Structure 1
């Protein structure tokens, strides 16, 4: 039996956030309905190339805002998946997650999700400060979020993630700490805490990256680092285990879907712009909504198909696996690739151990606390030419 993850992209939003560089847009009901039909066609067609060895053990609805569409669309998609894929089923699997934004869910919608088999909710908060939420371009207030969170709990969901963002323009350490404290009081099972990155193609990029005087609105590097360290300390104190660079969970509640990405478990992405890793190939779906709706399940909507070489696979094993706090197993590396880590990456490993950025615990190699702080620098060294 081989594990398989499924990602379903729902690109629709009420309004695009100022920091968002994902493919998302506002559309009418006719386009949404046509998109769901295209998704189901793609699911049916792709399933023909998946043999019986694979079992789906995670399903993730991301976006966009998946909760903005009618709940029965989500149920239809899950019914289609169950009809064409074999699911790995026990007390915990498959883990089925849907991303929801405040003001886009109600009790009726949540109960449909639950009946359809969704067992994990990811709620986008970002901040408990309404001024910061407005600046980010969110459509909700903190009060709206609290209402949505209460409905999620009332609907019986016991596995909830909340997203939190730091290094927001004009954000102070004290205001971030208040958000962190409020979040801890809510007692979710999982917290994803990210530092804002100004991505090209976003409203923030135009405002800050292309306007030098306004860069002063962004927290300094020292402030960003202080927020980062505060997150790790306070969440550990509150009983959350950090298991990946940006993710914290109570015991037994780590995100199995996201962990599968870092462990290079095969996954199939459905929907416009969705990415996949399957049978040693990486590829993206076409990134235009109209083109996707027209062709999905009828002709090949895959783009940028790359057959991974052995060197590609080894690099990915290292720079993805080292994102996990426990690091990578050198024994597993050798079992998969026959080579040892030292044979392929000996000089890089030695360099970062000497710089106290990597720790060798015998079988496991992992980032040190300092290495986690500058993880991008360390991980980039594992890219093989």
Structure 2
């Protein structure tokens, strides 16, 4: 049986952060119950054609899944266990904001067999948190982190952001030092990207003087890598670090271009040599399911060349890079035959290492990875 990852989108949150471009609605809480019922219908419909797949991971994202009553999370996962082969299910993650966690939710998460919690701290500086539209404080985070640990959740990820408005290198160091004193198994370390349609994009697109310079942004990234390495966190992807044996298995399915199904508004899937995205508003999502039709908004067939490009770009995000033998086994062609000129060029420029059957980005290559990826696509 083939492995499958399942992503479940919960598009509700308490308030929208100023940098967030995810599909989420802070003012639609009256839709929660009806949305969950439609989501369950989609899960049933999708599962019918996936009987020869075994579920390896589940990731409940948003939005803020922890902002809704945990009984709905329990109900959704109950349906997943009923409809899918979960014999080999290894990891069930739920995203949470620190101020939306309580004992009752944690009890139901445990009962639902959730075994990984991803907490969005972003910064340990309360002024920065306020500046970026987060609704928690460092103190609330710490209180609820301890509560999560008390209920036996040992596999905890913390999200940290850098390159934030008026943020200094010292503040990034302070946040990392604060987090690494906790018994955290995984850290995601992201640079702020100005996404169109967000308040931050409108505010900073023409005047970036409040944002760190490009040089400072790189210094923050390198300092983060150094501090995390010194605390026994292993970098395994451009933005992700783990304690031994605690990589995020769900994200590895994405990066290794394994099959995954997304359910819910705006969720994306990659299955059956096809990639598709769901409807992005409630009306169209509900209408499709009312008509017993999958709520697909757009889709495209993935040919061999598209799959190879995606495999190479996502594979190079990983520190282990691409195993040339695995590439040949998957595509029946030598990677150096397809990307010969680009590989040679990037080797000369010190952006790629190519030895021992592996191709991977150098430290400098990771710094300008977007340029490498763009050239590989052309």
Provide the secondary structure at the position in 1 that maps to 2:100. coil
Q: In 1, are the aligned partners of 2:234 and 2:242 still within 8 Å (CA)? A: yes
Aligned equivalents of 1:259 and 1:147: distance in 2?
30
Q: In 2, are the aligned partners of 1:39 and 1:296 still within 8 Å (CA)? A: no
Provide the secondary structure at the position in 2 that maps to 1:183. helix
Provide the secondary structure at the position in 1 that maps to 2:59. strand
Mind listing any 5+ residue stretches in structure 1 that lack a counterpart? none
Per-residue CA deviations over 1:120-164 (Å, capped at 9, x if unaligned) read 000000000001000110011111111110110011101000000
Match of 1:348 in 2: 342
Q: In 2, are the aligned partners of 1:266 and 1:277 still within 8 Å (CA)? A: yes
Match of 2:370 in 1: 376
The alpha carbon displacement at 1:251 in A equals 0.3
1:334–1:109 CA distance, 2 compared to 1 (3 A): same
Aligned equivalents of 1:128 and 1:341: distance in 2?
44
Moved over 6 A (4+): none
Q: CA RMSD in A?
A: 1.1
Provide the secondary structure at the position in 1 that maps to 2:364. helix
Match of 2:222 in 1: 229
The reply on whether 1:300 has 2:294 as its aligned counterpart is yes
Residue number among 171, 176, 192 corresponding to 2:167 in the alignment: 171
Provide the secondary structure at the position in 1 that maps to 2:359. strand
The alpha carbon displacement at 1:30 in A equals 3.5
Per-residue CA deviations over 1:244-267 (Å, capped at 9, x if unaligned) read 000000000000001110001100
The alpha carbon displacement at 1:361 in A equals 2.0
The alpha carbon displacement at 1:28 in A equals 4.8
Per-residue CA deviations over 1:6-54 (Å, capped at 9, x if unaligned) read 00000001000000000101245541000000100000001111132x1
Provide the secondary structure at the position in 1 that maps to 2:181. helix
Per-residue CA deviations over 1:70-117 (Å, capped at 9, x if unaligned) read 10111111111111111143xxx4200000001111011111101111
TM-score normalised according to structure 2 size? 0.98
Provide the secondary structure at the position in 2 that maps to 1:248. strand
What are the residue-to-residue correspondences of 1:126-145 with 2, within 5 Å? Answer: 126-145=122-141
Aligned equivalents of 1:29 and 1:341: distance in 2?
49
Q: In 1, are the aligned partners of 2:12 and 2:28 still within 8 Å (CA)? A: no
The alpha carbon displacement at 1:225 in A equals 0.7
Provide the secondary structure at the position in 1 that maps to 2:320. coil
Match of 1:220 in 2: 213
Match of 2:113 in 1: 117
Match of 1:264 in 2: 257
Per-residue CA deviations over 1:204-258 (Å, capped at 9, x if unaligned) read 011111x42xx10000111101100001111011000000000000000000001
Q: In 1, are the aligned partners of 2:45 and 2:294 still within 8 Å (CA)? A: no
Aligned length, in residue pairs: 377
Aligned equivalents of 2:144 and 2:370: distance in 1?
35
